[in-house]
Structure 1
Amino acid sequence: MRRTTKPQQDPVAYANGVERWKILLTLWVCGLIDLYFADETGVTLQPYIPYGWQKKHHPLQITARTKSKRLNLFGLMRLDNHLSIYHSEQSLTGAFIVRSLDDFVAKGHTRPVVIVLDNGPIHRCQVVYDQQAKWEESDVFLFFLPTYSPHLNPIETLWRFVKYRWLHKRDYNSWGRLKKAVFDIIRQFGVEYQINFKALAAKNVLQPNSA
């Protein structure tokens, strides 16, 4: 027998959330809305390199750092590799999310926008709720995923690619070099750095009479 945590996800709420998520994805594929997946991550001088090649008897070493600055990122990503990033070296707060989304909304959009978020505290806090009506006046809406559903937020894949594929050992030599590498990846995302989400979209788009 295996010990497991007590189930905390309402299966009915989850199924309903997934169905709505698929509807949003279908609307985006049909060109009726712009759909962004949003989330935060952070990078430090502690490398995220899980493995690497080394010559026999010449082990590679990475310096362990007990303290490091942290570059926090809040990203909004479409599945066609369009990306907006907001960053801070301070801890992210609900107020930071509001300022970021205010700027994002102010850029103007040609179609209604839906921003997919998880249920993190800085997404569900009062300062964010207080601004929702204002954003909706600009046709920008928030959609909260079912609880415990990180697999429904593809921007998590972007964070993994940044940390485990695109950053290199040499990028962790200094704080300045790490920041430059991260910002270079951000600027070149969709050009030099790409993720193919076509299979995800094709698998989950609703077909006629399937909704």
Structure 2
Amino acid sequence: MPDAIEPNGHCRRSIIGALDFGKNALIHASHTRTVKGRRVVEFIEARLLKDDGKLTVIVLDNASIDHSIIRVTLGHWFIEHKTLLFYLPPYSPELNLSENVWKHFKYHWLRFVTWTKETIDAELAELLNGYGSKRQVNFS
């Protein structure tokens, strides 16, 4: 008789992330629920907006959640933080370098283990926080 596998309780995580190419760093946040437009705005405001007086351009793919950022917010980001959003053309994942990083996470660096509710956050933190030091992608 084959071995039986007992299913674990639901322990899904959604990751939102951005690459800082200047520092070769991955900026990320993990959520227990699906990432919606409000979470994208919170992520950008908490982790990506700078007040250093320099123009910052944030490049986004064409995911529908990225287009949920309202014009008032975009205007505020430009005036207060000198930050612009630039959207990549539709259906062009090859232009989104962070897609290459996510592919490496999923297919090369992710260990094939059964994560539990107790272990998933520590495993993800170790994996994501290792980008730039333990793991990196060569884009050249």
Alignment TM class, shorter chain as reference: 0.7 to 0.9
Deviation at 1:65, TM superposition (A): 5.1
Matches within 5 A, 1:75-94: 75-80=17-22, 81-94=24-37
Say which one has the larger Rg.
1
User: Which of 78, 81, 85 is residue 136 of structure 1 equivalent to?
Assistant: 78
Residue deviations 1:62-106, cap 9 Å, x none?
x59597332111111033521211221112111111111111244
Please tell me the residue identity of whatever aligns with 2:136. Answer: Q
Q: Can you give the 5+ residue segments of structure 2 that lack an aligned partner in the other structure?
A: none
**What CA deviation, in whole Å up to 9, does each residue of 1:96-144 have, x standing for no partner?**
111111112445446321111111111112x443311111121111100
Q: How does 1:27-66 map to 2 (within 5 A)?
A: none
Q: For 2:66, what is the secondary structure of its paired residue?
A: coil
1:98 pairs with one of 41, 45, 56: 41
Say whether 1:196 aligns with 2:128: no
Maintained 8 Å contact 2:19/2:26: yes
Residue in 1 that maps onto 2:93: 150
TM-score of the two chains, using structure 2 as the length reference: 0.82
Is 1:167 the counterpart of 2:107? The answer is no
1:117 and 2:60 matched = yes
Letter matched to residue 106 of structure 2: K
Aligned length: 136
Q: Is the 8 A contact 1:105 1:140 kept in 2?
A: no
Residue 145 of structure 1: how far off its partner (Å): 0.7
1:151 corresponds to which letter in structure 2? E
Greater relative contact order structure (CA < 8 Å, 6+ sep): 1
CA distance in 2, matches of 1:135, 1:169: 41
Q: Which amino acid aligns with 1:194?
A: Q
Matched with 2:128 is 186
Structure 1, unmatched stretches of 5+, are 1-60, 200-211
Letter in 2 for 1:132: L
Looking at structure 2, the residues matched to 70 and 130 of structure 1 have their Cα atoms a distance apart, in angstroms, of: 33
TM-score (norm 1): 0.57
